[in-house]
């Protein structure tokens, strides 16, 4: 997970530019929710999905998977309410707690959800279907106490101490300060305290360390990076420059799994032997996955 650096003012400006009048219609719905004390009716958040898709460089906010771009891309993304709009269901259930060997204590957000944030654009990210539907669902694990602060997000955060990281914004801890990578595996960056717990809960909650599609993608990434680290040291100056261009690109926010790439490249700079050990693990994972596929070479049999 990486930070999506945008100020609240910039975010609302982007929304107004994309869908003029949306903010006013959203505010009207929030006033209705305040009167009725719950979320009712149809949501209009899908209309602004494109703003978040572009801001997030067409990647899932939570797992950093790359997703589609262009006119047919919408279908891949869900607009996810960080604080659920109409109810909060407890996490983890007994099966999940056992499976993930969870030993920490978790509380849960307001049981009736956060209807005043249903149309708050600062409560949205776009995510892949896996992160949103089966995993995030209506859960909202916290370390504090459920708050009735309504639409005051700063007070809600102070009261509730959310355990999931929220990547959009330019204040507070960046997700990468809290979650780093040991090779392909995400791990908490801090040794102890609330920030370590937030990292561990976020990793467990979205199963960032377990999902095959994420582990495979990171293994491919590490192999690609290692090959370019080697190429950057040998061959013609043009070949070396091409390899360096790829290494620079891999550090950018637009790159899939950029957090993993940055952690690996930083490790290589400080401890190349350890980076090589992670590369070899990744290479073995890749080669074991579908042995036939990688032995066949470039041309698939027809
Ligand atoms: Zn995802």
Residues 245 and 163 in one domain: no
- For ligand 1, the distance from its centroid to the CA atom of residue 121, given in whole angstroms, is 19
Question: Please, what is the Cα angle at 30 between 83 and 92, to 5 degrees?
Answer: 15
Residues 101 and 13 in one domain: yes
What span, in angstroms and rounded, lies between the C-alpha atoms of 96 and 109? 18
Residues 14 and 159 in one domain: yes
Residues 108 and 201 in one domain: yes
Domain contains 1: no
Domain contains 178: no
pLDDT in tens, 228-274: 999 999 989 999 999 999 999 999 999 999 999 999 999 999 999 99
110 φ/ψ angles, rounded to the nearest 5 degrees: -60, 125
- For ligand 1, the distance from its centroid to the CA atom of residue 46, given in whole angstroms, is 17
pLDDT in tens, 191-201: 999 999 999 99
Residues 154 and 243 in one domain: no
Residues 150 and 222 in one domain: no
- For ligand 1, the distance from its centroid to the CA atom of residue 90, given in whole angstroms, is 21
Domain contains 177: no
3-state secondary structure the chain: CCCECCCHHHHHHHHHHHCCCHHHHHHHHHHHHHHHCCCCCCCCHHHHHHHHHHHCCCECCCCCCECCCCCCHHHHCEEEECCCCCCCCCCCCHHHHHHCCCCCCCEECCCCCCHHHCCCHHHEEEECHHHHHHHHCCCCEECCCCCCCCCCHHHHHHHHCECCCCCECCCCCCHHHHEEEECCEEEECCCCCHHHHHHHHHHHHCCCCCCHHHHHHHHHHHHHHHHHHHHCCCCCHHHHHHHHHHHHHHCCCCCCCHHHHHHHHHHHHHCHHHHHHHHHHHHHHHHHHCHHHHHCCCCCCC
- For ligand 1, the distance from its centroid to the CA atom of residue 214, given in whole angstroms, is 9
Residues 195 and 245 in one domain: no
- For ligand 1, the distance from its centroid to the CA atom of residue 154, given in whole angstroms, is 26
What's the rounded mean pLDDT across residues 6-13? 97
Residues 146 and 269 in one domain: no
pLDDT band at residue 296 using 50, 70 and 90 as cut-offs: low
Residues 112 and 18 in one domain: yes
What's the rounded mean pLDDT across residues 266-292? 92
- For ligand 1, the distance from its centroid to the CA atom of residue 65, given in whole angstroms, is 6
Pairing of strands 179-182, 185-188: antiparallel
- For ligand 1, the distance from its centroid to the CA atom of residue 200, given in whole angstroms, is 17
Say if residues 165 and 132 touch (Cβ distance below 8 Å): no
pLDDT in tens, 144-187: 999 998 999 999 999 999 999 999 998 888 999 999 999 999 99
- For ligand 1, the distance from its centroid to the CA atom of residue 178, given in whole angstroms, is 18
pLDDT exceeding 70 applies to what percent of the chain? 96
Residues 165 and 224 in one domain: no
Domain limits at 70? 8-171+189-205
Least confident of 11-20, 31-40, 93-102: 31-40
What's the rounded mean pLDDT across residues 106-114? 97
Residues 198 and 254 in one domain: no
Residues 42 and 143 in one domain: yes
- For ligand 1, the distance from its centroid to the CA atom of residue 36, given in whole angstroms, is 33
How many domains are there within the chain?
Answer: 2
Say if residues 247 and 221 touch (Cβ distance below 8 Å): no
Model pTM score: 0.94
């Amino acid at each position: 997970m990486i930070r999506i650096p945008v100020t609240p003012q910039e975010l609302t400006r982007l929304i107004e530019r994309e869908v003029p009048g949306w903010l006013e219609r959203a505010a009207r719905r929030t006033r209705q929710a305040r009167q009725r004390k719950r979320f009712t009716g149809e949501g209009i958040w899908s209309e602004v999905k494109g703003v978040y898709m572009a801001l997030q460089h067409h990647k899932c906010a939570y797992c950093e998977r790359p997703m589609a771009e262009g006119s047919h891309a919408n279908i891949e993304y869900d607009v996810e309410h960080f604080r659920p709009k109409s109810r909060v269901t407890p996490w983890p259930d007994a099966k999940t707690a056992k499976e993930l060997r969870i030993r920490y204590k978790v509380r849960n957000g307001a049981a009736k959800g956060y209807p005043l944030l249903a149309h708050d654009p600062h409560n949205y990210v776009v995510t892949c279907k896996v992160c949103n539907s089966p995993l995030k669902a209506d859960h909202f694990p916290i370390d504090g106490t459920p708050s009735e602060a309504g639409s005051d997000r700063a007070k809600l955060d102070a009261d509730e101490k959310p355990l999931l990281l929220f990547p959009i914004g330019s204040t507070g801890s960046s997700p990468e300060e809290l979650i780093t990578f040991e090779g392909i595996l995400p791990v908490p960056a801090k040794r102890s305290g609330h920030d370590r717990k937030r990292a561990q809960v976020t990793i467990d909650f979205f199963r960032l360390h377990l999902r095959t599609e994420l582990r495979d993608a990171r293994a491919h990434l590490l192999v690609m990076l290692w090959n370019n680290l080697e190429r950057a040291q040998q061959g013609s100056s043009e070949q070396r420059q091409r390899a360096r261009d790829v290494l620079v690109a891999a550090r950018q926010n637009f790159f899939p799994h950029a957090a993993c790439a940055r952690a690996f490249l930083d490790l290589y700079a400080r401890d190349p032997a350890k980076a090589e050990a992670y590369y070899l693990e990744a290479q073995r994972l890749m080669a074991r996955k579908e042995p036939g596929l990688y032995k066949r070479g470039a041309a698939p049999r027809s």
